Structure 1
């Protein structure tokens, strides 16, 4: 049996788990794992057969060329990108010329729309797929103030985040009742309006922001595995208190994932984030990659990372049975780096 060379570029630390899951696959397929990251001590690299420190690049084009050169130099057959997914997706034909299969959706235009939350909210609203939070966009401090006041006048709590961004970067809840001492001693995601407004004015320029309805209810991540518009597995995962995570048999969210998959035909692996407000699940964002908490969803009995790779290899993957209604937590584990 041949051994596949697979490369992870600049992933989160949880990729350590995903590498293990791919290695320990049910089919006994062997993988030689390559990893790169700008941080030589990044924990993911400790679980790779070969690792390399990524140089710094000024443009997307330079980074894509680095990826192509890395694949050519090391004979990479499977590439699992996290960093610069969109520029890599736009250059898929160049990777395919090298014989490299890339775990990224082929529709780069769709990925670009997903990357821009403002645009994608409008697309989903038009299609009637999700309930969408009330939101406005702001490019200037005055626009930010105006949109904040519009939402407050609608009787809504307000939060904001960059229109283009990943994960929780830049997300804040506007709360004028924050205890000043608590804010200094224990910084949180809550911040008074005046502090935000003054900061934006002082900055002069800032990334376009979505100023939106703050959703008070439970937050869910739905980890999905799919191919050609068919949902193969979906696991709704809810955050409990502290470190608790619950894999929940939420039929409403599984049906939402099925409708989304049929409409947009995202391939391989992706994550849908929603949050409830007044009994309705409203869309937060789509992550067209393995999520940071995917290793919890694998407790359902579905080896998401390996099955995504199996689909990438062109193999048939049957619809998966999932074990749900599982409560789990996590703890730290020591990893020797050298």
Structure 2
């Protein structure tokens, strides 16, 4: 049986787990995994059979690098993360060489999802889920007005850039914080309104900030699997359960959110919906049109999300699947001898 060649460009370290989940697939399909990253010793590359250095490029030049890589290595499936939008804009270049790309081809939708302000407006208009109270600010006075209005409604307030990943740029406004205690303690996302306003006032304008109510209930990541046409095949709600514990559990209202998102937006393959509760009401944080950073944990539910997405892209039949029981999981560090393209790295000094 011919090996399926699969390529990951620059990903997070957890791609190591995605690669092994695909490699150890339940159908016994042989795969060869290629990966690139600017840092040849990056952990994501330790799951690859063939690893390579990636140049620091943007736009069409970066896309052309990926196309050339796929052509040279006869890549069947490309799973991008870095510069996903640029890759989607030029996906026809991959079609021309026979490489299937696990990306949302609807460029307008992808642009909207990646801008939280625009996506919130879309959700507000279609009403498929509840969104937090929020305002978008691009200068200090707008920030001040947004903050004061949210406080007048009785909300605690946080803010975050509309275009960012993970927790980058996320801050919680706390006017009772103690800078001295913070100096000697853990780094926190807390900032006073006065400090934030002073910093933002130093610029005439800045990239859009989402200023919103702070949600203080459980936060859930709903890992979702869809076929190439966006039909939902699986959804697993996952939350932190203290320390390193993670709980995958059936939450009917969150599974319904996943269904409505799939029906409305038709995001293909793997995507992730992040919700957080305000009292009894789950409210949208964001959607990631890719595999989430914790997807490998959700796979402990018995659903191999990365492989099933690959199988679907290859034209295989993937039936809707549910996980049978709630699953409590955790993780421990696993020491590894670093390898590059299957060869152990032995050196007297590491720069």
Q: TM-score range, shorter-chain basis? A: over 0.9
Following superposition, the deviation at residue 179 of structure 1 comes to 2.0
Following superposition, the deviation at residue 263 of structure 1 comes to 1.4
What is the correspondence of 1:140-179 to structure 2 with a 5 Å cutoff? 140-179=139-178
Distance in 1, matches of 2:138 and 2:226, equals: 36
Distance in 2, matches of 1:104 and 1:176, equals: 42
Distance in 2, matches of 1:33 and 1:229, equals: 25
**TM-score w.r.t. length of structure 2:** 0.93
Distance in 1, matches of 2:305 and 2:241, equals: 22
Partner residue in 2 for 1:108? 107
Distance in 2, matches of 1:94 and 1:62, equals: 12
Partner residue in 1 for 2:302? 301
Alignment of 1:200 onto 2:200: yes
9-18 or 64-73, larger mean C-alpha shift: 64-73
Distance in 1, matches of 2:328 and 2:149, equals: 40
Residue 46 of structure 2 aligns to a residue whose secondary structure is helix
Q: Would you say the 8 A contact 1:38–1:56 is kept in 2?
A: yes
Partner residue in 2 for 1:139? 138
Following superposition, the deviation at residue 198 of structure 1 comes to 1.7
Q: Would you say the 8 A contact 1:269–1:308 is kept in 2?
A: yes
21-30 or 320-329, larger mean C-alpha shift: 320-329
Distance in 1, matches of 2:207 and 2:144, equals: 15
Q: Would you say the 8 A contact 1:229–1:263 is kept in 2?
A: no
Partner residue in 2 for 1:17? 17
Distance in 2, matches of 1:242 and 1:108, equals: 38
- Give 5+ residue unaligned stretches, structure 2: 339-344, 346-351
222-231 or 146-155, larger mean C-alpha shift: 222-231
Cα RMSD, aligned residues only:
1.2
Distance in 2, matches of 1:210 and 1:271, equals: 20
- Give 5+ residue unaligned stretches, structure 1: none
Partner residue in 2 for 1:52? 52
Following superposition, the deviation at residue 204 of structure 1 comes to 5.0
Following superposition, the deviation at residue 333 of structure 1 comes to 1.4
Distance in 2, matches of 1:88 and 1:175, equals: 40
Residue 147 of structure 2 aligns to a residue whose secondary structure is helix
**TM-score w.r.t. length of structure 1:** 0.97
Following superposition, the deviation at residue 205 of structure 1 comes to 4.7
4+ runs of 1 displaced by more than 6 Å?
A: none
Residue 7 of structure 1 aligns to a residue whose secondary structure is strand
Distance in 1, matches of 2:69 and 2:85, equals: 18
Alignment of 1:31 onto 2:31: yes
Q: Would you say the 8 A contact 2:88–2:103 is kept in 1?
A: yes
Partner residue in 1 for 2:349? none
